[in-house]
Amino acid sequence: MERSFLLVDDHPVFRQGLASLLETIDNYRVTGEAGDWDEAVALLREKEFHIMIVDISLKDRDGLELLNLLSERENPPVALVLSMHDESSFAEKSLEAGALGYVMKHAPPEEILDAVETVLRGERFLSARMKQQILDARFDRIRNDDQSRLDSLSPREREILDLIGQGFGATEIAEKLNLSVKTIHTYRDHLKEKLDMDTARQVRRFAIQRHIGSST
């Protein structure tokens, strides 16, 4: 089955090279090329395509806007973003906007063709390196969020959280700090609120994980 491509990039030489690469595959045909937003929109209204390969940075408008436009079509082409931006945030934004894949312009030809084949199957494509960048960025955000919540705790709340992490129950903590069990439960409720958690079990799990992490 022949697959029709729309290439959207404001560099004619790059489009030409990409078209030549794609048409080394027998059933791939580049049937539309656009150098800007208006040309791309006109072609999308005029023809049907199986896949649109778009640069995230066009000279007149953001390529991500084209992805949003596709969602309004009845039978939209799948979208692959081919970009010079080697940042996980751009890849995440592209996927959120509706692209099925994100690949770097300087990627080896076989990786670009692999990305095309993957999205044409209806599957998502990210390079192994980009997947790792996204994972790292997400864990960094989680770590920063956790630190912000910890910074909101009072010294006594931190002390109780540390004791929870060491495995002590409310009665044992009350004895250690010479406080009532009711007071410890009140502090635990404060911890739930400040750490944005719903249950005491979540607080305990968080405290234990934090204690284990600080011990390694």
Model-level pTM greater than 0.85? no
Query: 134 lies in a domain?
Result: no
Q: How many domains are contained in the chain?
A: 2
Bridge partners of residue 51, in order along the sequence? 5, 78
Bridge partners of residue 82, in order along the sequence? 103
In this structure, are 185 and 122 located in the same domain?
A: no
In this structure, are 18 and 118 located in the same domain?
A: yes
In this structure, are 102 and 157 located in the same domain?
A: no
Query: 142 lies in a domain?
Result: no
> Distance between CA 12 and CA 39 in Å, rounded?
13
3-state secondary structure at position 30: strand
- pLDDT tens track of the chain, all 216 residues? 899 999 999 999 999 999 999 999 999 999 999 998 889 999 998 899 999 999 988 877 778 888 888 877 777 899 999 888 776 778 888 888 889 999 988 889 999 999 999 999 999 998 877 777 767 666 666 565 667 777 778 888 888 888 988 888 889 988 888 989 898 888 888 888 888 888 888 888 888 877 776 654
In this structure, are 104 and 159 located in the same domain?
A: no
Domain of 171, in residue numbers? 149-215
Q: Return all residues near 108 (Cβ < 8 A) that are at least 6 apart.
A: none
